[in-house]
């Protein structure tokens, strides 16, 4: 019988306590902090991940979606740039496939760009002036215009939500700090398919790549900043 999520969490707490000592002794777990010009990036909160019945379906949407909605409310009130990603392919199979080698590992053939599964969850309801980025790889930055778009607006901080924590969210966070942005991963707004994966990756990211913060603190930060004015 597989362990319950609570049993997994208790086991991880013991591991994290020991690992925290190692990281802190060696100077890890520093803070990047919030900048002055944030953007919100929702990673793959499209139907294939947010709703049941698909190979890519993830757990925890009863928490993730409301948290993402709360961030949108706070961000839109200040004119914060908001982007959504979905992972989808024009030619998922055949000799001209745009999946690269990823089809050797995961069922990307189930992610056709015209399929309703690839559309952003209607509960988030992207506005016409918000970006929807179709990516081919895990990171929202890889092979997309995300970096240039953020730079054109003078963004210094990226607030990250979405799925999966072990894949697309993690790789986006790693690439964000590599591209010179301050990554803030919102604890209640990320998820995955496998128990334990979320907590482990949040712990590891918080030690090395970005800050993991509760949605309440991120909303408080958004409420307290000056309205966003782009450099354009």
Q: Tokens 């993690």 appear where?
A: 170
CA-based nearest residue to 115, from 90, 142, 138, 152: 90
pTM listed for this prediction: 0.91
How much of the chain, in percent, has pLDDT values that exceed 90? 78
Does the structural domain 36-224 have CATH classification 3.40.50.850? yes
The answer to whether residues 40 and 72 touch, using CB atoms and an 8 Å cutoff, is yes
Radius of gyration over every alpha carbon of the chain, rounded to an integer in angstroms: 18
- Alpha-carbon distances, residue 71 vs 38, 161, 163, 196, 229 (angstroms): 12, 9, 16, 25, 18
The answer to whether residues 50 and 61 touch, using CB atoms and an 8 Å cutoff, is yes
Q: What is the pLDDT of residue 21?
A: 67
Q: What would the pLDDT profile of 6-47 be if each residue is shown by its tens digit?
A: 777 777 777 666 667 677 777 777 799 999 999 999 999 999
Q: What would the pLDDT profile of 44-59 be if each residue is shown by its tens digit?
A: 999 999 999 999 999 9
Catalytic, out of 168, 176, 190, 215:
168
Exposure on the CB side of residue 229, measured as CA atoms within 13 A:
2
| 168 catalytic residue (yes or no) | yes
How much of the chain, in percent, has pLDDT values that exceed 70? 94
Q: What would the pLDDT profile of 150-194 be if each residue is shown by its tens digit?
A: 999 999 999 999 999 999 999 999 999 999 999 999 999 999 998
**Residue 135: what are its φ and ψ, rounded to 5°?**
-110, 165
């Amino acid at each position: 019988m597989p362990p319950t999520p609570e049993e997994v969490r208790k086991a991880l707490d013991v591991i994290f306590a020991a690992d925290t000592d190692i990281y802190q002794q060696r100077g890890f777990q520093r803070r990047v902090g919030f900048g002055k010009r944030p953007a919100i990036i929702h990673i793959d909160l499209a139907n294939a991940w947010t709703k049941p019945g698909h190979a890519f379906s993830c757990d925890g949407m009863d928490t993730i979606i409301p948290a993402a909605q709360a961030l949108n409310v706070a961000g839109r009130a200040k004119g914060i740039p908001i982007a959504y990603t979905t992972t989808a392919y024009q030619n998922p199979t055949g000799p001209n496939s745009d999946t690269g080698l990823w089809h050797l590992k995961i069922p990307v053939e189930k992610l056709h760009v015209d399929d309703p599964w690839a559309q952003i969850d209607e509960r988030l309801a992207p506005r016409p002036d918000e970006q929807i980025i179709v990516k081919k790889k895990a990171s929202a930055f890889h092979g997309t215009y995300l970096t240039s778009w953020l730079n054109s607006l003078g963004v210094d901080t990226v607030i990250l939500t979405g799925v999966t924590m072990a894949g697309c969210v993690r790789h986006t966070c790693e690439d964000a700090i590599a591209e010179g942005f301050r990554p803030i991963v919102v604890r209640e707004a990320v998820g995955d398919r496998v128990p334990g994966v979320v907590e482990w990756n949040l712990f590891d990211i918080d030690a090395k790549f970005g800050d993991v913060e509760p949605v309440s603190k991120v909303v408080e930060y958004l409420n307290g900043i000056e309205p966003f004015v782009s450099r354009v």
